Amino acid sequence: MPEGGVRVVGHGARFRRSRRSELLIWWREIDRMLLGLILFLVVIGAIAVAAASPASARRLSTSTKSLGDLYFFWIHLRWVMVGLIAMFFASVLPKEAARRGAIILAGAMILALVLVPLLGSEVKGAKRWLWIGFSLQPSEFLKPGFAIAIAWILSWRVRDPNIPVIGITIGIMVLVGMLLMAQPDFGSTVLFGGVWFVLALLSGLPITRVLWCMGLGVVGVIAAYLFYPNATNRIDSFISGGSEFDQVDLAMRTLLNGGWSGTGLWLGSRKNSLPEAHTDYIFSVIGEEFGLVACGVVVVVYCVIALRVLIRLLDEEDLFTILAAAGLTAQLVGQAFINILVNLQLFPSKGMTLPLISYGGSSTIALLAGVGLLLAITRRNPYLSREKFDLSEFTRK
């Protein structure tokens, strides 16, 4: 020790101590229960992709290229690792930084959507991806940015009730919907519209406008049925109950094949007939190999995630925080239940993955980054008491 008993601390030591303190603060403020639920779904997803990978790998193998049974599983693990890193870095951001970053992300992805019909690569009749050294699906990364950007605009009403925030957000929603339908991507358009509707309701949308919006939604679905052949085929198939070889019917048969306890890992047989076993219909693979009980667990976890966020927001005082967290949760849980309902033959086929469980590149990274933003926005000092935000009082203003 130096003379006088004073310890000299170098810059490196102070930096390490500062970083350690920041991580301790992050761990104290983060919603650890929500984080645990998300990681639990990620683990379930890895197991489910391992179960579905052999069916998809064999189906996509050709005479010139044979894919290993765990081909999609190993790739999925790489994307999950990248996604978890993105989730961590997003979750340590201060709320204002998370908001600004999400708004910039939304703007960049809207610009990317403009480029998709011009420069995008076509897969199965749709242009949804841009090649930038790797395949990027802008609509997936737009989801968290869209929810936060719309929440931010709607929260302007607190500062000035005369700002036409509903009209501004309707304009953004129409623009996003037009760009998505240019690909075309009807399923994502429906999901974005649902997120906007939830946020508009929470911000105090008058009941007359609620009815108008519902009417416009019905008109949009009818227009898609009349002018979008893919939507026409899927809705007709749903209404008629499908055929023995219809994708949704195959998914339902696969889901029920395992009974309550399932056939066991890699012992399912019906999954081999599914065209997208590792993505759109992975819930059916879970049902076949791990049973209806496992499917019930997945549904319960999504419900608990939504409930946990709502509980977290009960004593929140900031309108932006309430709207942003609600929008991100609606996007995550809404997509999950659309996928599940499709697998149960209760909704027309949408080509939509099961969040945090299905195999994916852009979707996995974007979803985990969105979860990171949700964790950042809902961070809270446990030692500070807050005055509750009275939403009913606000909507009466």
Query: Of 375, 286, 372, 332, which Cα lies nearest the Cα of 44?
Result: 286
> What type of residue is 364?
T
pLDDT by residue (tens digit) across 106-147? 999 999 999 888 877 766 666 777 877 777 888 899 999 999
The pLDDT value given to residue 129:
76
Positive or negative, the CA dihedral 197, 342, 84, 176 is negative
pLDDT by residue (tens digit) across 32-43? 999 999 999 999
Residues 222, 341, 362, 38, Cα dihedral to 10°: 140
Q: Name every residue whose Cβ is closer than 8 Å to that of residue 292 and which is 6 or more positions away in sequence.
A: 255, 256, 258, 259, 260
Output 124 or 74, whichever has higher pLDDT. Answer: 74
Q: Which of 183-187, 221-225, 242-246 has the lowest mean pLDDT?
A: 242-246
Average pLDDT over residues 244-272: 78
Kindly report the average pLDDT of the chain as a whole number. Answer: 83
pTM for this entry: 0.84
pLDDT by residue (tens digit) across 266-315? 888 888 888 888 888 899 999 999 999 999 999 999 999 999 999 888 87
The pLDDT value given to residue 271:
82
pLDDT by residue (tens digit) across 326-373? 999 999 999 999 999 888 887 777 778 899 999 988 889 999 999 999
Query: Of 14, 31, 34, which Cα lies nearest the Cα of 22?
Result: 14
The pLDDT confidence band at residue 240, using thresholds 50, 70 and 90, is low
β-pair partners for 131: 135
For 281, list phi and psi in degrees, rounded to 5: -115, 30
The pLDDT value given to residue 47:
94
Output 209 or 184, whichever has higher pLDDT. Answer: 184
User: What's the CA gap between 308 and 366, in Å, rounded?
Assistant: 21
pLDDT by residue (tens digit) across 207-218? 777 777 777 777
Instruction: Tell whether the model's pLDDT for residue 8 goes beyond 60.
Output: no
Residue 335, both tokens: 């997509």
The pLDDT confidence band at residue 158, using thresholds 50, 70 and 90, is confident
User: What's the CA gap between 258 and 276, in Å, rounded?
Assistant: 18
Cβ–Cβ under 8 Å, residues 150 and 142: no
